[in-house]
């Protein structure tokens, strides 16, 4: 068999049925011949985001896969791979490599050398007969421990080499998990029950461990409120009485209240990476229990009072048992749920003027409010884009089911949300997949809306068009005053229509809900849709202070 056919058979045995890609690489033809659907993007970075979005919604089972050509293809994909690495997304990258006889020569671009800093593992197939071993190692890395992207570079002369390897002997890599040390579990249970106001911070590790149900059970047994990181948003149902919503660059009002009030914080499935956007900054004076499956996270940004090394699902199961034993099988009795409800109502009341605004141009918070009014979150997968859409949507959109929201923010380029939504729709075709983006983000990646239209991937893109980079208002004051440096322009509904999709431009706030319903019907009929809302230059959040005001 040819190496490319062996790789294709291994992909099939690992459950892969979709290959996100951009020519030219022989693996595309080999995959198509084997019944794996290739989805050709317009730009490599967006194709990587598609594989990333697929992996998140599929929960890494199987991982997303992206293939690209050597040289320009691998070079263009770099930003997307950096994004996947920053969020520990389980994606397998298959860049073609230059022929082995020239790959070492200056100035040839080698993925195996250049991508080492932004992948969990990277390896080059130098000996064709080692293809199965290299692919097995890659899938082991992408499935086990902390998730993250892996890469296998295949030189073009290796890809088309004929070998005597029989892929029939290849078996899918099993996931291996470890529970927490019993001593650490007992200590954690004691600390949590001794605390007067404990809270939980849940990260995306809860998703990959498939531990969302254990998280809910544990919160209810302990009667402890739950905040999520941006990446972990929707790991805990946000219509639950103990939900504090996400915390990072912005917070809910009740989330901010409890973050400062709590005396002990249990971090589960999160890295506690110090980052002003995606992870809340902890006020001083709190005790911290940190449960993670990655030793590199323990005591990374601060000295935790207790570290637990283990899989989130197994650790939460252990904690449920340990706490329940100490409580005699009865839920802990306190009034924290009532306090959460009271603070939530106070916060939402302060925001009603924006959420119900009649102003023109449309207030973006009104768009978010109307979307929540007409769309059942249990039927949707929603994501945002960088800048204002992320900060405005995150606190208010109420995600009620696991992976019903794709949150991100550590190291991402404008335009990331479009690819994520396309990949999400491929992984979950029965869901209403929507990405909220600004006009600057559309300018970065908007042409890949054509990929959704061409490939029959009916997502909805909502463009909040305020004709400026509003989030840069304070950072670009002088340049804007003198040269209008922040201003952008365009009719994005027209572009979407010309790219083969359905679109509508909306300027009346009273038409928001009906327009979303019309767009959803188009997606149900199999068409990619775009809604362009003409919005105000709203600055209703404080990025510097990290809280929705």
**Tokens 């973006």 appear where?**
364
Interacting residues of 270 by C-beta distance below 8 A, sequence separation 6+: 201, 202, 203, 204, 205, 229, 232, 279, 292
413-458 residue pLDDT tens: 899 999 999 999 999 999 999 999 999 999 999 999 999 999 999 9
> What is the CB-side half-sphere exposure of residue 185 using CA atoms within 13 A?
20
Residue 280's pLDDT is what? 87
CB atoms within 10 A of CB 356: 13
The length of the chain in residues reads 549
The model's confidence at residue 540, banded by pLDDT at 50, 70 and 90, is low
Interacting residues of 392 by C-beta distance below 8 A, sequence separation 6+: 364, 365, 368, 538, 540, 541
Please check the confidence at residue 409 and state whether its pLDDT lies above 60.
yes
Residues 238, 244: Cα–Cα separation, whole Å: 7
Identify whether the C-beta of residue 418 lies closer than 8 Å to the C-beta of residue 408: no
**Strand runs labelled E in 410-474:** 432-438, 460-465
Please check the confidence at residue 542 and state whether its pLDDT lies above 80.
no
Pick from 5, 48, 118, 21: nearest CA to 416? 48
- The strand pair at 547-548 and 541-542 is best described as antiparallel
CA angle 128, 134, 140 (to 5 degrees): 165
Residue 546's pLDDT is what? 44
- DSSP codes, 485-523: TTB----HHHHHHHTT-EEEEE--GGGHHHHHHHHHHHH
- Tokens (6 digits) for 32: 């198509």
Q: Is 363 left (phi over 0), alpha (psi -120 to 50) or beta?
A: beta
- Strand ranges of the sheet holding 64-68, from the earlier edge strand across to the other edge: 37-40, 18-22, 64-68, 91-97, 150-155, 121-124
Chain mean pLDDT for the chain: 94
Cis before 62 (ω within 30): yes
Residue 548's pLDDT is what? 52
Residue 361's pLDDT is what? 97
Instruction: For the chain, give every domain's residue range.
Output: 3-169, 182-339, 356-548
Interacting residues of 162 by C-beta distance below 8 A, sequence separation 6+: 1, 2, 3
Interacting residues of 253 by C-beta distance below 8 A, sequence separation 6+: 343, 344, 346, 347, 348, 350, 548
Residue 331's pLDDT is what? 78
What CATH number has the domain spanning 182-339?
3.40.50.1220
Helix (H, G, I), strand (E, B) or coil at 128: helix
pTM as predicted: 0.95
Element (H, E) at 101: helix 100-103
What letter would DSSP give residue 305? S
**Domain 182-339 matches domain 356-548 at the CATH topology level:** yes
Please check the confidence at residue 543 and state whether its pLDDT lies above 70.
no
Please check the confidence at residue 503 and state whether its pLDDT lies above 80.
yes
Q: So what's the architecture of 3-169 in CATH?
A: 3-Layer(aba) Sandwich (3.40)
Cα dihedral 53, 378, 507, 407 in deg (nearest 10): -40
CB atoms within 10 A of CB 169: 7
Residues 480, 476: Cα–Cα separation, whole Å: 6
Identify whether the C-beta of residue 81 lies closer than 8 Å to the C-beta of residue 115: yes
* Torsion angles phi and psi, residue 191, rounded to 5: -65, -40
Please check the confidence at residue 278 and state whether its pLDDT lies above 80.
no
Residues 399, 459: Cα–Cα separation, whole Å: 18
> What is the mean predicted confidence (pLDDT) over 181-193?
98
53-79 residue pLDDT tens: 999 999 999 999 999 999 999 999 999
Residue 545's pLDDT is what? 44
279-315 residue pLDDT tens: 888 888 999 999 999 999 999 988 999 999 999 999 9
> What is the mean predicted confidence (pLDDT) over 327-352?
92
- DSSP codes, 9-64: HHHHHTT--EEEEESS-THHHHHHHTTPEEEE-SSHHHHHHHHHHHHHHTTTSSPE
Residue 541's pLDDT is what? 65
Cα dihedral 66, 380, 412, 274 in deg (nearest 10): -120
Identify whether the C-beta of residue 11 lies closer than 8 Å to the C-beta of residue 31: yes
Of all residues in the chain, what percent carry a pLDDT higher than 90?
A: 86
Helix (H, G, I), strand (E, B) or coil at 95: strand
Q: In a 10 Å sphere around its CB, with 0-12 CB exposed, 13-18 middle and 19+ buried, how is residue 175 labelled? A: middle
Superfamily of domain 356-548, CATH level 4: Thiamin diphosphate (ThDP)-binding fold, Pyr/PP domains (3.40.50.970)
Residue 180's pLDDT is what? 98
**Tokens 């030793």 appear where?**
295
Residue 472's pLDDT is what? 81
- DSSP codes, 225-251: -EEE-TTTTTSS-TTSTTEEEEBSSSB
Please check the confidence at residue 544 and state whether its pLDDT lies above 50.
no
Residue 235's pLDDT is what? 98
> What is the mean predicted confidence (pLDDT) over 129-141?
97
Pick from 165, 164, 96: nearest CA to 125? 96
């Amino acid at each position: 068999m040819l190496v490319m056919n062996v790789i294709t058979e291994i992909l099939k045995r690992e459950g892969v049925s979709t290959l996100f890609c951009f020519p030219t690489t022989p693996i595309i033809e080999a995959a198509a011949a084997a019944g794996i659907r290739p989805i050709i993007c317009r730009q490599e970075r967006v194709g990587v985001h598609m594989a990333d979005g697929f992996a998140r919604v599929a929960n890494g089972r199987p991982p997303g896969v992206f293939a690209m050509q050597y040289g320009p293809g691998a070079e263009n994909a770099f930003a997307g791979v950096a994004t996947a690495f920053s969020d520990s997304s389980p994606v397998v990258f298959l860049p073609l490599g230059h022929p082995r006889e020239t790959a070492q020569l200056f100035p040839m671009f080698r993925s195996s050398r250049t991508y080492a800093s932004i992948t969990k593992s990277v390896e080059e197939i130098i000996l064709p007969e080692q293809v199965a071993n290299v692919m097995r190692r890659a899938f082991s890395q992408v499935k086990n421990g902390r998730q993250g992207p892996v890469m296998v570079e295949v030189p073009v002369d290796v890809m088309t080499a004929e070998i005597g390897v029989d892929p029939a002997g290849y078996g899918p890599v099993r996931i291996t998990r470890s529970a927490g040390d019993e001593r650490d579990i007992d200590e954690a249970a004691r600390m949590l029950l001794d605390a007067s106001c404990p809270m939980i911070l849940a990260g995306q590790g809860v998703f990959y461990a498939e531990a969302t149900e254990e998280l809910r059970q544990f919160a209810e047994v302990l009667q402890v409120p739950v905040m999520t990181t941006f990446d972990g948003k929707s790991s805990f149902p946000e219509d639950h009485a103990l939900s504090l919503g996400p915390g990072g660059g912005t917070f809910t009002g009740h989330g901010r209240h409890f973050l400062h009030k709590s005396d002990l914080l249990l971090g589960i499935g999160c890295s506690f990476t110090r980052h002003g956007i995606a992870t809340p900054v902890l006020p001083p004076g709190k005790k911290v229990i940190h449960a993670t499956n990655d030793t590199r996270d323990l005591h990374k940004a601060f000295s935790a009072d207790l570290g637990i090394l283990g899989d989130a699902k197994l650790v939460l199961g252990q904690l449920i048992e340990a706490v329940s034993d100490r409580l005699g099988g009865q839920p802990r009795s306190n009034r924290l749920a009532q306090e959460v409800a009271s603070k939530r109502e106070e916060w939402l009341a302060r925001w009603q003027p924006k959420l119900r605004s009649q102003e023109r141009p449309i207030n973006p918070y009104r768009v978010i409010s109307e979307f929540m009014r007409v769309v059942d979150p249990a039927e949707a997968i929603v994501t945002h884009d960088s800048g204002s859409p992320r900060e405005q949507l995150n606190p208010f959109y109420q995600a009620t089911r696991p992976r019903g929201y794709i949150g991100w923010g550590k190291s991402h380029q404008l335009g990331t949300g479009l690819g994520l939504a396309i990949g999400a729709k491929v992984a979950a075709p029965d869901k209403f997949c929507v990405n909220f983006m600004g006009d600057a983000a559309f300018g970065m990646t908007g042409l890949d809306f054509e990929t959704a239209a061409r490939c029959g991937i009916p997502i909805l893109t909502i463009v909040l068009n305020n004709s400026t980079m509003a989030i840069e208002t304070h950072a670009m004051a002088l340049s804007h005053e003198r040269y209008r440096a922040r201003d952008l322009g365009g009719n994005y509904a027209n572009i979407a229509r010309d790219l083969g999709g359905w679109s509508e431009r909306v300027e009346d706030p009273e038409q928001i809900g009906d327009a979303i319903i019309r767009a959803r019907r188009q997606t149900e009929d199999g068409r990619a849709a775009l809604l362009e809302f003409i919005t105000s230059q709203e600055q209703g959040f404080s990025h510097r202070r990290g809280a929705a005001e």
